[in-house]
Amino acid sequence: MTAAFVTMKAMLTRALLLLLVLACFALAQPACPPTPVYSPCDLVLELTAEELAAHPNPHATVRIAAEFRSPGTRTFLLTAFWDGGTRFVVRFAPTDPGQWLVRFSGNIPRLNGTMISVEATDAGVPGFLESANFHHWRTSKDRQPHLWMGDTLYSFASMPEETFQAILAKRKEQGFTHIRGYLLGSRPDNQPEMRSHALPAPDAINPQHFQQVDRRIRAINQAGMVVDLILGWDKNHLADALPTAADRRRYLDYVVARYSAFQVTWQLVQEFEEYRDGRAFVKELGEYLKSRDPYQHPRTTHALRTTSPLAKDGWITYMLYQSNDEHLGSIEHQLHQMPFVNAEFGYENSGGGASHPHHVDSDNFRKRLWNATMNGQYPTYGNTGTYGGSFPADARFAESPGTTAMKVWHDLLRRTRFWELEPYFDVSGARCVGLHGEDTPQFLCYAQEGGTVELRFIKRNTFKVEWINPSDGVVTPLKEFKDDVFVGAPPSPGRDWVLHVYRQGRVEGLGRSYKFESRLVPIQEPDNAAARVPFDVEEPASMEVNTGDAMQAPFGVKLTRESRATRNMMFLWIAENTVNGQGHRVAGTGEKGFLRFYKEAVGELPAVVNVRIYGLNAVGKLYFLDRVYKLLP
């Protein structure tokens, strides 16, 4: 068969399909103007009075599916969502330029088998967000690195329009790339009427609420930001609102149909541990979302500390944290090959008030920001005056010392190959992330105490050095040097500083020269050989542990071998009852303290738990010990 014959056959096939499209839709038909790739196109379908009469609750009973076929024969299956009255919408984002054919099916007989076409244009749209280099992010179409700098705006869907627009304008100006918030509006703790506003019944939705969400997500996307959508509040809210699996599937179908064509990530529920049988609940949601989302947007859920108990379940694609614990962040970064985002390392209280321990002053917020960065985590900001949690959002707090610190962070990271930086350990007096390539060595180090820093390199090289004040971004350059070790103190002691070390002449090209998946970043295989592990468990000393009403017990480790590598150790204690299927929980961090055993994970006492103790030494080597304890009341 000749190439000319194949081409002619393809042209005839397409012509016949177009004729079929015209023949099948003699009535008014849904249409989109030419649509840029990765941009939403709304195909509107109006039910007749007779069709609506047959479906008194159209959200629950009408089923309209649209199969999209790309010019390259890629296919998507999307469903229509009810938008109030007689109106249904199929919302679609083409991923390739050219003509897409659309075929409708479902339980509205008039639409079955009808076809239309949508023309997609190859505009300068970057594509959807996806992971890259294991711990980092890029956009799918232009394959450019993506710097995740988030803001928390829980009540974005329901706050007054003037407040929303004012905060959004500031966040765009400040360089933020993500807005995190509740799909269902303000938390019911603050506005009890919100509990049933968006979802008045398990089989019902309020179209007006979601129409406002549409407008605001469009505005955020048009401002160049991704929306991190939280689909349910904490305290078992979504399980109570949607008590059956069928209710939850209906809700997720609606969410995917309405929002997957936008620039979003999915953050299922707030604090999954507060849900009954939380691990199984979010796994059910996550697996269904994975099966239904044609664009495979990044997925995770929120946690009291870490989502690592869910990592083996196969549906999360990035880790989410609510913790400023350096031990937890540093050690887990060595164990998982997915991006890390810290959504609540601390909220800045710049005058809006404080209601939780992690609502901290501006100086402490800045320190937590940079320590999260040294853990290898991308940050999400929060201000108690704007985040819409404990207090109503107020645009007066949209600019603060914390947002200045975030902008300093943003501008400095943009000068680096941030998409390849990984925690680096051969340092004293600071914590570092670095890139140790032949052509592009580069290091960012955070000296929280402002003392002397000693940074060792794999090989001798010529470097430029500068100190950055993380409060205001003022740069103090030093003379370049050629050596395999840097030793120096910041311009003034008694405060925190950022040290930037990079190869001479390379900064100018860092933003233009890159290759994703360019370095192997393997997870560590932690060492548990008794002869090499440099520590042992001192407490609990017995296999039987009395936890009391507080479900706590003292813990401690002792070094069994001292060396330069063990001069600074981090420790993480995780506990799991393997019988009840809730996964592990972080029981403690550090060398000494009290182990906390969580009842929802441990179950009724007495119970047998496996405890794993990880130790990370000063040069990045990870070890672990296993212990089994019987917990007694």
Asked whether residue 434 carries a pLDDT value surpassing 50, the answer given is yes
Distance from chain centroid for Cα 262: 16
Higher pLDDT, 498 or 523: 498
In whole angstroms, give the CA distance from residue 617 to residue 571.
Answer: 9
Residue 4, domain member (yes or no): no
Q: What is the pLDDT of residue 503?
A: 87
pLDDT band at 286 (very low <50, low <70, confident <90, very high): very high
Strand partners, 425: none
Asked whether residue 428 carries a pLDDT value surpassing 80, the answer given is yes
Write out the H or E segment, with its range, that includes residue 431. Answer: strand 431-435
Q: Residue range 514-534: average pLDDT? A: 74
Q: What is the DSSP string of 217-268?
A: HHHHHHTT-EEEEEEE-TTTHHHHHS-SHHHHHHHHHHHHHHHTTSSEEEEE
Q: What is the pLDDT of residue 78?
A: 95
pLDDT band at 123 (very low <50, low <70, confident <90, very high): confident
Asked whether residue 22 carries a pLDDT value surpassing 50, the answer given is no
Handedness of CA 514, 516, 519, 522 (dihedral sign): positive
Q: Could you tell me if 402 and 451 lie in one domain?
A: no
Q: What is the pLDDT of residue 519?
A: 54
State pLDDT tens for residues 306-319.
999 999 999 999 99
Specify the CATH number for the domain of residue 242.
3.20.20.80
Residue 376, domain member (yes or no): yes
Q: Could you tell me if 344 and 325 lie in one domain?
A: yes
Q: What is the pLDDT of residue 507?
A: 47
Give 399's DSSP letter.
S
Q: Could you tell me if 383 and 253 lie in one domain?
A: yes
Q: What is the pLDDT of residue 176?
A: 98
Residue 79, domain member (yes or no): yes
| Cα atoms in the 13 Å half-sphere on the side-chain side of 307 | 32
In whole angstroms, give the CA distance from residue 582 to residue 576.
Answer: 8
Q: Which domain holds residue 597?
A: 535-632
Least confident of 374-383, 454-463, 564-573: 454-463
Q: Could you tell me if 424 and 402 lie in one domain?
A: no
Buried b (16+ CB within 10 A) or exposed e, 346-370: bbbbbebeeeeebbbebebbbbbbb
Specify the CATH number for the domain of residue 485.
2.60.40
Asked whether residue 38 carries a pLDDT value surpassing 90, the answer given is yes
Q: Could you tell me if 477 and 432 lie in one domain?
A: yes
Asked whether residue 188 carries a pLDDT value surpassing 90, the answer given is no
Asked whether residue 510 carries a pLDDT value surpassing 50, the answer given is no
CA nearest to 156, candidates 220, 207, 223: 220
Q: Residue range 347-374: average pLDDT? A: 96
pLDDT band at 440 (very low <50, low <70, confident <90, very high): confident
Q: Which two tokens mark 43?
A: 């195909």
Least confident of 21-35, 42-56, 83-97: 21-35
pLDDT band at 114 (very low <50, low <70, confident <90, very high): very high
Specify the CATH number for the domain of residue 603.
2.60.40.730
Q: Could you tell me if 188 and 272 lie in one domain?
A: yes
Q: What is the pLDDT of residue 24?
A: 39
Q: Could you tell me if 590 and 626 lie in one domain?
A: yes
State pLDDT tens for residues 568-613.
999 999 999 999 899 999 999 999 999 999 998 999 999 999 999 9
Q: Which two tokens mark 2?
A: 């000749």
Asked whether residue 616 carries a pLDDT value surpassing 60, the answer given is yes
Q: Could you tell me if 562 and 585 lie in one domain?
A: yes
Q: What is the pLDDT of residue 7?
A: 44
Q: What is the pLDDT of residue 18?
A: 42
Asked whether residue 1 carries a pLDDT value surpassing 60, the answer given is no
pLDDT band at 461 (very low <50, low <70, confident <90, very high): confident
Q: What is the pLDDT of residue 125?
A: 85
Residue 612, domain member (yes or no): yes
Average pLDDT for the chain = 91
Residue 132, domain member (yes or no): no
Q: What is the DSSP string of 79-130?
A: E-EE-STTEEEEEE--SSSEEEEEEEEES-GGGTT-EEEEEEE--S----EE
How far the first Cα of the chain sits from its last, in Å, is 79
Residue 89, domain member (yes or no): yes
State pLDDT tens for residues 249-269.
999 999 999 999 999 999 999
Q: Residue range 356-378: average pLDDT? A: 97
pLDDT band at 504 (very low <50, low <70, confident <90, very high): low
In whole angstroms, give the CA distance from residue 154 to residue 387.
Answer: 6
Residue 13, domain member (yes or no): no
Q: Could you tell me if 391 and 424 lie in one domain?
A: no
Residue 361, domain member (yes or no): yes
pTM of the full structure: 0.92
Asked whether residue 9 carries a pLDDT value surpassing 80, the answer given is no
In whole angstroms, give the CA distance from residue 604 to residue 632.
Answer: 10
Q: Could you tell me if 588 and 463 lie in one domain?
A: no
pLDDT band at 341 (very low <50, low <70, confident <90, very high): very high
Q: Could you tell me if 158 and 244 lie in one domain?
A: yes
Q: Could you tell me if 425 and 407 lie in one domain?
A: no
Looking at the structure of the chain, the number of domains it has is 4
